[in-house]
A = this chain, B = another copy of it.
Amino acid sequence: MKKNEQKLTHISELGEFGLIDHLTKHITIQNLSTIKGVGDDAAVFQYENDRLSLISCDMLIEGVHFNPTYTPLKHLGYKAAIVNFSDIYAMNGTPHQIVVGLAISAKYTLEAIEELYSGIILACKQYGVDFVGGDTTSTPSGMQISVTIVGSANKEDVVYRNGAKENDLICVSGNLGAAYAGLLILQREEQTFLANPQHQPDIQAFEYVLERQLKPEAGKKIIETLKEKGVKPTSMIDISDGLASELLHICKQSAKGCKIFEDKIPIDLQTYDVAEEFSIVPLTFALNGGEDYELLFTVDIEQYEVVKNIPGITIIGHITSEDIGKYIISEQGQAIEIKAQGWDALKKRNDTIR
């Protein structure tokens, strides 16, 4: 688990401006919309006339959203960027510029921060986003990352959470619960390692769910495919807190009810395996696990023939009138009310890492 011995650089040797210069010197600008990146009081950008601008921010806090014991910093940087890109795709937009606020304690070396930045920059490269600025500062303990993303969309393309109509189909991309399954495996490995530091982790069997936890991807392809097929969702949200919580957001903001079907919910085989090992119902992972960064959206029922043939999209139910309520129909045909027990970082929980 230990790296080869090498000279590590303390951040204090560089100071804030030295660090920023060092970290940003290799950043290149990819977007025509970026006019001025890192290096002034503000970054400057401009979208084409009539494009709407989108902005969103997400924080990742050490000890809450990540545990540095088992989170490689490059993955962490990648994830910090991805969770923000995901919010822009959830508006049916395209992310373009990112600003990164980073607060780091003295325990982190320059090499560690470089790892983190390399992950952010890799994500930016893969998704065509420009790293245009931020703030770097010290913090008494841990690490806090705050990422803000701006993007754009054509006025007629923007999709809000409040547009779901009765009888609309409820769709999800990919599969659900895998990221939470990955988290459970990581937490177990940490406990085993703490009990026996000689323990070599056996995690090959869980490679897929671990990747979903440590290096998630955002819904770029789904958004592009829907556009190609001429499907504009009536409402959309990204699944960061678990399917249940997100579905309730759409229902609340659209003033509608919903009915989804347990046997339609896409869950990967490896997620099933983990659920079995932990004696947890796999559905719980999908409904309440969180961090999947898949897209949950509704489409007009007239689009059924188109949507059902798009690979990577699953129709899991439909929107109802509000008075019917919000239900999941179990495999046995039982209607169970949907409640949010999602990834709510402010509620008291037993988990140490949420």
Q: A residues bordering B, Cβ < 8 Å? A: 11-12, 14-17, 19, 35-36, 39-47, 49-59, 61-65, 86-88, 90-91, 93, 97, 99-103, 132-142, 144, 146, 148-151, 155, 158, 160-162, 236-238, 253, 344-348
CB distance from A49 to the nearest CB of B (A): 5
Bound complex: CA A16 to CA B58 (Å): 13
Compute how far the CA of A344 lies from the CA of B57 in the bound complex, rounded to whole angstroms: 25
Query: In the complex, A137 Cα to B241 Cα: how many Å?
Result: 13
Is the beta-carbon distance between B59 and A103 smaller than 8 angstroms? Answer: yes
User: Are A36 and B160 neighbours in the complex by a CB distance under 8 Å?
Assistant: yes
**A348 contacts B12, C-beta separation under 8 Å:** yes
Q: How far is the CA of A142 from the CA of B158 in the complex (A)?
A: 37
A101 touches B345 (CB 8 A): no
Please state if B144 and A141 are interface contacts (CB–CB under 8 Å). Answer: no
Kindly list chain B residues whose C-beta atoms are within 8 Å of the C-beta of A51: 46
Asked if B41 and A137 make an inter-chain contact with CB atoms under 8 angstroms apart, the answer reads no
**A151→B57 contact, CB < 8 A:** no
**Chain B residue at smallest Cβ distance from A93:** B42
Residue from B16, B53, B93, B151 in contact with A346 in the complex, judged by beta carbons closer than 8 Å: B16
Can you offer 14 A-B residue contacts whose CB atoms are under 8 A?
A: A16-B345, A16-B346, A19-B346, A41-B87, A41-B90, A42-B56, A42-B87, A42-B90, A45-B53, A53-B150, A59-B144, A103-B144, A136-B346, A144-B144
CB within 8 A of A14: which of B52, B90, B102, B346? Answer: B346
**B53-A46 in contact (CB<8A):** yes
- Checking B17, B65, B91, B346 against A11 with a beta-carbon cut-off of 8 angstroms, the contacting residue is B346
Given contacts A144-B144, A160-B40, A253-B39, contact A99 B57 (CB under 8 A): yes
> Which 8 A-B pairs give the minimum distances between C-beta atoms?
A146-B146, A42-B56, A41-B90, A148-B148, A63-B140, A42-B54, A41-B87, A137-B345
Question: What CA separation (Å) do A162 and B41 show in the bound complex?
Answer: 11
A62 neighbours in B (Cβ, 8 Å): 140
Which among A42, A50, A56, A65 has the greatest number of chain B C-beta atoms within 10 A? A42
The interface residues of chain B lying within 8 Å CB-to-CB of A90 are 41-42
- Of all chain B residues, the one with the shortest Cβ separation from A348 is B12
Q: Which residues of B contact A139 (CB under 8 A)?
A: 61, 63-64, 142, 144
Whether A52 contacts B46 in the complex (CB less than 8 A), given A57-B133, A148-B148, comes out as yes
